[in-house]
């Protein structure tokens, strides 16, 4: 890949041009090198089902083990990966790694049955080959499609010319599940909710943070839960850090919780241990 100072990228369904500052250009070439040199790795954060108290799934979260700077958060490099298009090969590697990992747990009594959620950038949808790529990965790894959840943020749905919704129906027909990530933070246009075949709504951490006791935050979450439920979504709350937050979320009918109260993102090797020690049944 040859970088120019001006990159063409997709934003809200439009092709745009953006001039990357030189520091980003340098960073972009480091991201590319990191991909070649296998400096990325995945962590997996447990998601607990309120009703059964059991582990429902894990969210796969990428990390960069930088040779000098140590572990770098995706918040620092996903944006540059998107601007340069590197998110396409990086996203493919992420999908491959997470599916292979989930398939590898097949003989574990708990981990062999749970879902793995993978974050997919709107730009990966635009690449045009995402669905075929995922189907190939499922075939190669032997992971059942029912065990894969694709997480997309609202920006993938608004100002969609219909193409993204079509891709989502294709994924759905293949048995793959769909989660709407960071719900409530992006846009107020809700019409996409009835057009896409979503399974999960993830309430953003910024709402959960203000619970409980903040009347307006409580009202917003309650409205999201009842809207989501009436459209047959299961509701996942992210960023749950305190028991008081969990109690409130449970009382208003939230289905699934994810957050430091239960577990931080863990390395794959640490999950069997977490399952046997933490015993999700006792967590909720
Ligand atoms: P996200 O998909 O909303 O992921 C949830 C983020 O919240 C994760 O941050 C997770 O570590 C963090 N989190 C979970 N529970 C708590 C909590 O109780 N307290 C606090 N303070 N934080 C909590 P992370 O791993 O740094 O990822 C940040 C964002 O980067 C993700 O937000 C997602 O948008 C993006 N990202 C991460 N991995 C990937 C990936 O593999 N592909 C793509 N395209 N994006 C990714
Ligand atoms: Mg996510
Ligand atoms: Mg999220
Ligand atoms: Mg979030």
Provide the greatest CA pair distance for the chain.
54
Q: How far is CA 247 from CA 32, 201, 203, 206, 210, in A?
A: 44, 19, 16, 17, 14
Distance CA 7, CA 14 (A): 13
Q: What are the E-state strand segments in the chain?
A: 6-11, 14-19, 40-49, 55-66, 70-72, 115-119, 148-153, 177-183, 200-203, 234-238, 256-258, 266-267
Percent of the chain with pLDDT strictly greater than 70? 88
The alpha carbon of 221 and the centre of ligand 4 are apart by a number of angstroms equal to 15
- Name the more confident of 217 and 253: 253
Q: Each residue of 58-100: pLDDT tens digit?
A: 999 999 999 989 999 999 999 889 988 899 999 999 999 999 9
Work out whether strand 256-258 and strand 40-49 pair parallel, antiparallel, or are unpaired.
antiparallel
Asked if 187 and 174 touch (Cβ cutoff 8 Å), the reply is no
What CA–CA distance (Å, rounded) separates 123 from 71?
25
**CA 74 to centroid of ligand 3, rounded, Å:** 12
Mention every residue, 6+ apart, whose C-beta is less than 8 A from residue 21. none
d(CA 85, CA 81): 6
Distance 253 CA to ligand 2 centre (A): 21
Helix (H) or strand (E) holding 278: helix 271-278
Could you tell me if the CB of 156 is within 6 A of ligand 1?
no
The packing angle between helices 87-104 and 22-36, to 10°, is 40
The residue to mutate among 119, 236, 237, having the most atoms of ligand 1 within 8 angstroms of its beta carbon, is 119
Average pLDDT over residues 267-284: 84
> What pTM does this model have?
0.92
Atom index in ligand 1 nearest the CA of residue 261 equals 18
Mean pLDDT confidence for 179-197: 82
Please report the pLDDT score of residue 5 as a whole number: 46
Q: 3-state DSSP call for residue 227?
A: helix
pLDDT, tens digit, for every residue of 8-58? 555 555 656 666 666 667 778 888 899 999 999 999 999 999 988 899 999
């Amino acid at each position: 890949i040859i970088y120019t100072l001006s990159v063409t990228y997709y934003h809200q369904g439009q092709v745009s041009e953006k001039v990357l500052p030189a520091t980003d250009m340098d960073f972009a070439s480091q991201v590319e090198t990191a991909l070649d040199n296998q400096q990325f790795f995945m962590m997996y954060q447990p998601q607990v089902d309120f009703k059964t108290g059991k582990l429902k799934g894990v969210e796969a979260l990428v990390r960069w083990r930088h040779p000098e700077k140590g572990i770098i958060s995706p918040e620092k490099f996903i944006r540059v990966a998107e601007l340069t298009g590197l998110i396409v090969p990086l996203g493919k590697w992420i999908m491959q790694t997470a599916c292979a990992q989930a398939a590898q747990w097949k003989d574990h009594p708990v981990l062999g049955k749970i879902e793995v959620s993978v974050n997919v950038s709107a730009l990966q949808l635009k690449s045009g080959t995402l669905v075929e790529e995922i189907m190939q990965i499922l075939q190669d790894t032997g992971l059942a499609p029912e065990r894969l959840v694709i997480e997309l943020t609202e920006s993938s749905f608004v100002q969609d010319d219909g193409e993204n919704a079509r891709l989502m129906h294709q994924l759905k027909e293949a048995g793959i599940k769909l989660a709407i990530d960071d719900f409530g933070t992006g846009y107020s246009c809700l019409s996409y909710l009835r057009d896409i075949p979503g399974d999960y709504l993830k309430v953003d951490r910024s709402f959960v943070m203000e619970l409980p006791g903040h009347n307006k935050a409580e009202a917003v979450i309650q409205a999201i839960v009842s809207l989501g439920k009436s459209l047959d979504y299961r509701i996942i709350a992210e960023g749950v850090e305190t028991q008081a937050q969990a109690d409130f979320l449970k009382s208003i009918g939230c289905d699934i919780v994810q957050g430091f109260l239960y577990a931080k993102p863990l390395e794959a090797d640490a999950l069997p241990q977490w399952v046997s020690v933490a015993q999700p049944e006792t967590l909720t």
